[in-house]
Amino acid sequence: MKEFIKSVRRDGITFNIFLSSLLVGVFTIILILINYVNLPPYVPIFNQMPWGDSRLSETPGIFIPSALFMIVFILNFSFASFLYVKNNPLLARIVASITLTIAVMNLLLIVKLLLLI
């Protein structure tokens, strides 16, 4: 694992994009924790579902998008480091950019949910 981290750290662009993604993810979790006490018992997490109770989740369910992002972050980081070891830094940068996009979209989702409530 240390070799993977060192390989990504060699490429400054990829490492900075992943670091930005991680910071956005941590900021999202901090934003949730700050507003957690003000949340109602049920929050509308699943907005693509039909109208009704299937859209709602209990309050701890607001951490689902952030938990999924952290899983995607770890998988993409390991995949990008594997790509970088295989001498393909362009694909590693593309994977890092996609991770940053997912982090920003996760932040926007949480901000929209918090403003909705």
Q: Output the pLDDT for position 69.
A: 94
CB 61 within 8 A of CB 113: no
pLDDT in tens, 9-33: 777 888 889 899 999 999 999 999 9
Q: Output the pLDDT for position 100.
A: 94
pLDDT in tens, 39-60: 888 888 777 777 777 778 787 8
Q: Output the pLDDT for position 74.
A: 92
pLDDT in tens, 80-116: 888 887 888 888 889 999 999 999 999 998 998 888 8
Q: Output the pLDDT for position 98.
A: 94
Q: Output the pLDDT for position 8.
A: 66
DSSP structure class, residue 87: T
Distance, CA of 75 to CA of 99 (rounded, Å): 10
- Chain centroid to Cα 74, Å, comes to 10
Q: What pTM does this model have?
A: 0.84
Phi, psi of 44 (to 5 degrees): -85, 90
Q: Which residues contact 7 (CB under 8 A, 6 or more apart)?
A: 81, 84, 85
Distance, CA of 55 to CA of 51 (rounded, Å): 7
pLDDT tops 80 at residue 5: no
